[in-house]
């Protein structure tokens, strides 16, 4: 199966603009009438629903940011009666209050459809077996692909995360064909299989849909080699819907944004003005079909590139690149912008595993950065001199790419904590 909803996914740009204009107008009117917080923000910006006549007017609307969601915790941005809400989800809440979002029955139906589009794009159909190892619960990941598989009529295998040995048994015995989880957990599964002597070529597994955290092209290639699959990217965030906001097709030249449900903008993070196609910008999303939680012009902090060129797969939705980093994850080390994904690229290109951690500190008013990298079992037996040379080589590679000196420490295998959810890559002690 190539498409889940071909008429929608291959609609003309004129048709997409018409859908977006009609739905934006209706959504703005809805939030103005039903959400006092939004009405106040719009009045402060000097905007009324009458000012929004088409998608071209979206720049007149004020931005929404994560602090707005915390200020209205838990239900202050809901745009429907609470008895219409059939489910809530929430972010992890690692910094401040959790972000709480809600869904009506129609919202869940839309979410199922957009996740089914991703599954169809990787070749799944109603005969497929979908192994869901994203977490179930308040995190949106597990329920997103579970709903997409169910909507498609495929078999959902709701394993959730954790208990990796059991995961592997199920992958072997249940005939799982599509693996859905975070890329770091997929790598952990692959490493565990290797240690157990599992022959991945004998698994029915064909594809992996990996998201919820940054990962590089180099990591994609490693996952494909270790698991014997084709690895696909998916983009989503709790505030907008969950997984499935944008999805990768077989061409893998970017992720198609589900533009019949979301309007995407790429803006200069400092000026708030649009950047042209092909230029990195902060991604801003507006929900135009959600009933319970229709957030408008949400600043995601993700940095990516947009392309409106028609994809050779036939889809006409705008494509967004894999996020290059986040404005709030970007490390500024002695005046230089550093993204964790850049460090990962260097390590993987030099043959190291993606098990690393970045420690940032400030000593005598000077920023310091140390990158701890796990050695392979073979390297662990090397002499102190050989290890020192390897550390120096990585330091040179990082300095060449980043333009900033970093201390590199090779550590024993399996000493960096693994995660069954999102990997913790950065420890910034400057914030303490």
For 129-164, write each residue's pLDDT tens digit.
999 999 999 999 999 999 999 999 999 999 999 899
Q: What's the average model confidence in pLDDT over 90-102?
A: 77
Does the structure show a pLDDT above 70 at 92? no
**pTM to 2 decimal places:** 0.82
For 154-208, write each residue's pLDDT tens digit.
999 999 998 999 999 999 999 999 999 999 899 999 999 999 999 999 999 999 9
Sign of dihedral through CA atoms 402, 406, 410, 413? negative
Q: d(Cα 113, Cα 256) in Å, to the nearest integer?
A: 14
Find the Cα–Cα–Cα–Cα dihedral 24, 29, 31, 34, rounded to 10°: -150
Provide Rg for the chain, Cα atoms.
22
Residue 282, token pair as written in the block: 């902060």
321 close to 304: Cβ distance less than 8 angstroms: yes
In the chain, the domains with their CATH numbers are 1-326 (3.40.50.12780), 331-431 (3.30.300.30)
More confident residue, 278 or 427: 278
Backbone dihedral region of 163: left (phi > 0), alpha (psi from -120 to 50 degrees) or beta? left
Q: Which of 116-120, 215-219, 251-255 has the lowest mean pLDDT?
A: 215-219
For 13-28, write each residue's pLDDT tens digit.
999 999 999 999 999 9
Backbone dihedral region of 334: left (phi > 0), alpha (psi from -120 to 50 degrees) or beta? left
């Amino acid at each position: 199966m190539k498409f889940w909803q071909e008429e929608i996914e291959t609609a003309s740009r004129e048709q997409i603009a018409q859908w977006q204009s009609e739905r934006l107008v209706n959504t703005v009117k809805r939030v103005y009438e039903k959400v006092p917080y939004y009405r106040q923000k719009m009045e402060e910006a000097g905007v009324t629903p009458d000012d929004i006549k088409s998608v071209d007017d979206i720049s007149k609307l004020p931005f929404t940011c994560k602090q707005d969601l915390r200020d209205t915790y838990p239900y202050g941005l809901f745009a429907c009666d609470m008895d219409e809400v059939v489910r809530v989800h929430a972010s992890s809440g690692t910094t401040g209050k959790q972000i709480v979002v809600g869904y009506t029955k129609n919202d869940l139906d839309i979410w199922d459809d957009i996740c089914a589009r991703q599954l169809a794009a990787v070749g799944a159909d109603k005969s497929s077996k979908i192994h869901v190892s994203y977490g179930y619960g308040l995190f949106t990941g597990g329920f997103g692909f579970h709903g997409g598989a169910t909507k498609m009529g495929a078999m959902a295998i709701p394993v959730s995360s954790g208990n990796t040995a059991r995961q592997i048994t199920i992958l072997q015995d249940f005939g799982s064909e599509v693996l859905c989880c975070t890329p770091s957990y997929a790598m952990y599964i692959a490493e565990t299989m290797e240690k157990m002597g599992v022959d991945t070529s004998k698994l029915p597994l064909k594809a992996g849909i990996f998201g919820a955290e940054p990962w590089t092209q180099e990591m994609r290639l490693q996952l494909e080699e270790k698991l014997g699959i084709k690895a696909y990217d998916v983009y989503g965030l709790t505030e907008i819907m969950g997984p499935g906001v944008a999805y990768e097709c077989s061409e893998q030249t970017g992720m198609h944004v589900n533009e019949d449900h979301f309007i995407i903008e790429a803006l200069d993070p400092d000026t708030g003005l649009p950047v042209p196609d092909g230029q990195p910008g902060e991604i801003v999303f507006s929900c135009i079909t959600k009933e319970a939680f229709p957030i408008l012009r949400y600043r995601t902090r993700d940095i990516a590139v947009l392309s409106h060129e028609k994809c050779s797969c036939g889809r006409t939705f705008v494509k967004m690149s894999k996020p290059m980093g986040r404005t709030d994850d970007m490390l500024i080390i002695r005046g230089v912008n550093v993204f964790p994904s850049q460090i990962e690229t260097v390590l993987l290109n030099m043959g190291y595993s993606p098990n690393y951690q970045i420690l940032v500190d400030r000593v005598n008013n000077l920023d310091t950065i140390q990158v701890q990298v796990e050695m392979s079992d073979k390297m662990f037996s090397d002499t102190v001199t050989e290890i020192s040379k390897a550390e120096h080589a990585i330091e040179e590679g990082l300095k060449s790419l980043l333009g900033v000196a970093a201390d590199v420490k090779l550590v024993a295998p399996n000493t960096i904590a693994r995660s069954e959810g999102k990997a913790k890559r950065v420890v910034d002690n400057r914030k303490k």
